Amino acid sequence: MEQLSSKIYKKEFVEAFAGDDSGTLTPRQTPGMFYSKAKPTPVERVTLLAWSDELAKELGIARPTNQHEIDILGGNRVTDSMYPYAACYAGHQFGNWAGQLGDGRAITLGEWEAPDGKTWELQLKGAGLTPYSRRADGRAVLRSSVREYLMSEAMHYLGIPTTRALSLVSTGEPVLRDMFYNGNAAYEPGAIVMRVAPSFLRFGNFEMLNARKEVDNLRQLVDWTISRYYPHITGENKVLDWFKEVVDRTARLMVEWMRVGFVHGVMNTDNMSILGLTIDYGPYSFVDNYDPNFTPNTTDLPGRRYAFGKQPSIGYWNLGALAGALLPLADKDQLVATLETFKDVYWTAYYAMMGRKLGFDQVSQLDRDLISRFEKTLADIQPDMTIFYQLLIELPLSVENEDAVAEYFKQALYDDLTPEQKTALYTLVSSYLERLNTNKIKRSDSQEMMRKANPRFVLRNYLLHQAIEELEKGDDTLFVKLQEAIKEPYSDKFSEFFQTRPGWASEKAGCSMLSCSS
């Protein structure tokens, strides 16, 4: 295990590409530049609030034990071998071209080589002004930082590709934030997350270069990305082959989000990872009641572009934007044909995933029809998604009548069922049990498959909200408990959290709806 301060950091991205080395933090356009040097702005006092021991062990990083080391986690200290920078990228935001964006409150310190030879970028989120901060301050608050720290790790333990979070620190400084952009700004405690990924490259990095007609730079970035992160791809068709793999990874990521009920909330192209990772945790949420039209993002109303059920189609749309950025390097028709493979990849993986959630030994066309009936019925009844699928695991193999079925699933319901809903649920469950009886695997094997596909614990927004409120008062009891619960989402060890969203959380700010500043 190495100390953060004694490591010789790599800086292969910086060495490979042109950047603005001036260190000037004044917000500006940076044509021709892949990044700009941006040293973190020191804060009052860096205090360690949370540390991921498991991730640190994987990376070979020793837990900081003195202020000298802790200061690195808050940007108060930069070692000699680090080269702090903010990346330049663009993006489509809510479907509209936004032009240059870039790391407005994220600063990459350097690249850490782990004991297994893999390299990880260490990045501080909330470490101060960068040339891409535009009209913002480059800071982050405790509220958004707790959310990013916990959810990054929660997604990892759910088995979903994601960026990771190594540490959470407080800064000792207040930060002014208008949570809902409604003129009610207030000071909140400042905080910084150190997040970790093999790369933070986004679709927007490639869009930026194409938009500026920097074709040589675009080719250089594509070649570098392929050689570094997709080294198995070679040959004269490597751009198309690489794009196909990005399409595959993105499609499968969407399937995983749908599996657990995760809603990203702000799927702009600058928030789409070129490695197929979940990246940038802002106004995210898990669905409580099963509603395909649910969006947790106030900025996404009333259009609900990024609603739960629309995420796969937005993933496809965003890949189309990436394909457009690659037009100078590949044939248009072939790019379009490659993009169109998204649908087959997604639906094949989606039905296979749903088969595991439902405990089917295989998925036939008839099973696909049954899966569609599940989606339609759940959207109408809107039970708690997590609890419903948990109850389904232990469903008796015979049911008496409509009332008995409604009573069995009562724990998952937010509202009493109408007579029509009772009939629909009973009919669905009866068809499901008929299908289970045709399984060629044991019931116990089917149930084990379901337990691995259906989390029992998800990091609900109301729990996060409670933990944040308590942390702001100096009480970390719930925060610590959630840190442990996220590591075992498929176990029944944390049954105290196995309940529907409480009534008070339905309307409370920060529980039901959030903004992009979250």
Question: For 265-319, how does the pLDDT look when each residue is reduced to its tens digit (9 = 90+)?
Answer: 999 999 999 999 999 999 999 999 999 999 999 999 889 999 999 999 999 999 9
- The answer to whether 138 is a known ligand-binding residue is yes
- The answer to whether 104 is a known ligand-binding residue is yes
* Whether 302 and 392 share a structural domain: no
pLDDT at residue 507 greater than cutoff 90 = no
Handedness of CA 445, 372, 382, 147 (dihedral sign): positive
- The answer to whether 373 is a known ligand-binding residue is no
- The answer to whether 318 is a known ligand-binding residue is no
- Whether residue 507 lies inside any domain: the answer is no
* Whether 44 and 173 share a structural domain: yes
Rounded mean pLDDT of the chain?
96
| 243/436 Cα distance (integer angstroms) | 39
* Whether 210 and 301 share a structural domain: yes
- Whether residue 348 lies inside any domain: the answer is yes
- The letter for the amino acid at 486 is I
Looking at 25-129, list the stretches that DSSP marks H as alpha helix, in order from N- to C-terminal side.
53-59, 67-73
* Whether 346 and 289 share a structural domain: yes
* Whether 249 and 293 share a structural domain: yes
Question: For 313-342, how does the pLDDT look when each residue is reduced to its tens digit (9 = 90+)?
Answer: 999 999 999 999 999 999 999 999 999 999
| 179/284 Cα distance (integer angstroms) | 14
* Whether 41 and 141 share a structural domain: yes
Question: For 350-405, how does the pLDDT look when each residue is reduced to its tens digit (9 = 90+)?
Answer: 999 999 999 999 999 999 999 999 999 999 999 999 999 999 999 999 998 999 99
Question: What's the total number of domains in the chain?
Answer: 3
- Whether residue 242 lies inside any domain: the answer is yes
* Whether 237 and 311 share a structural domain: yes
* Whether 337 and 393 share a structural domain: no
- Whether residue 123 lies inside any domain: the answer is yes
- Whether residue 474 lies inside any domain: the answer is no
Last residue of a domain, one of 380, 412, 438: 438
Last residue of a domain, one of 355, 372, 397: 355
* Whether 171 and 62 share a structural domain: yes
Decide: 40 and 107 in contact? Cβ < 8 Å. Answer: yes
Residue 112: closest CA among 158, 149, 59: 59
* Whether 379 and 396 share a structural domain: yes
The DSSP code for 60 is: T
pLDDT at residue 516 greater than cutoff 80 = no
Helix axes 365-381, 332-358, angle to 10 degrees: 80
pLDDT at residue 181 greater than cutoff 80 = no
Last residue of a domain, one of 185, 200, 215: 200
* Whether 34 and 165 share a structural domain: yes
Please list the active-site residues.
270
- The answer to whether 280 is a known ligand-binding residue is yes
Helix axes 332-358, 443-453, angle to 10 degrees: 130
- Whether residue 465 lies inside any domain: the answer is no
- pLDDT number for residue 183: 76
- Whether residue 151 lies inside any domain: the answer is yes
* Other CB atoms within 10 Å distance of the CB of residue 227: 12
Helix (H) or strand (E) holding 167: strand 164-177
Range of the domain at 225: 204-355
* Whether 212 and 282 share a structural domain: yes
- Whether residue 21 lies inside any domain: the answer is yes
